[in-house]
Amino acid sequence: MNPIPLENGKYYHIYNRGNNGIDLFYEIENYKYFLRLYEKYIDPVAETYAWCLMKNHFHILVYIKETEEIDSTKLQYSSTDKPKMVSASKQFSNLFNAYTLAMNKRYNRTGSLFEKNFRRKVVNSETYFQKLVFYIHNNPVHHKFTEHIIEYPWTSYGTVISNKKTKLQRERVIEYFHDLENFKYYHSSNPNLDEIEGLIME
């Protein structure tokens, strides 16, 4: 059964894990390389609001741009043939394929790295958006990789609370929490995630 393609103009929680639970990232350079590929393939077709890379899975919150918002001159493809239409789903597949090829070559491995189809859930309310941002940033704490969100380097939390230049939709994220202090306070609290429990992966 083929998954439903990502639709323009919608927000999505996109996530996946290593095939059969295997690691996706072996060393620091792997995380950096994945983010470089992400910028190359995804930035032209989507706005990013939150992300977290864990050793064997990842979570991303994105808005898929409307067709007229996409600058096709910046699109990167995994083949030399320019596709007839811009597909965000295809761009994500290109990202995962490119990363898999690089990892297979570097570590002398073969076969799939990610589970076959990446998961996607439409984010259709402000409450869901807020709780999902927290869930994504809190993932390393939840999985006991660290005690405090700020200590884990491979999430967008540090970018949101900083002033460094970024393509992350920092100001828009903060607006969802009204201001930066509320953003920090929300992340230091323990919001009830029951209503999105069925929409997140463990």
Query: Is pLDDT of 185 > 70?
Result: yes
Nearest CA among 57, 177, 72 for reference residue 119 = 57
Q: Is the pLDDT of residue 199 over 60?
A: no
Write the pLDDT tens digit of every residue in 67-102. 888 877 666 655 555 555 678 999 999 999 999 999
Asked if the model's pLDDT at residue 202 lies above 50, the reply is no
CA distance 15 to 119: 5
Report the mean per-residue pLDDT for the chain.
89
CA distance 4 to 59: 18
Please tell me the pTM assigned to this model: 0.88
pLDDT at 194: 65
Q: What percent of the chain has pLDDT over 90?
A: 71
What is the reported pLDDT for 88? 94
Q: Mean pLDDT throughout 28-37? A: 97
pLDDT at 121 (0 to 100): 94
Q: Using 50, 70 and 90 to split pLDDT, how confident is the model at 198?
A: low
- Report the share of the chain in percent with pLDDT over 70: 86
Instruction: Tell me the β-bridge partners of 61.
Output: 13, 50
Asked if residue 40 has pLDDT above 90, the reply is: yes
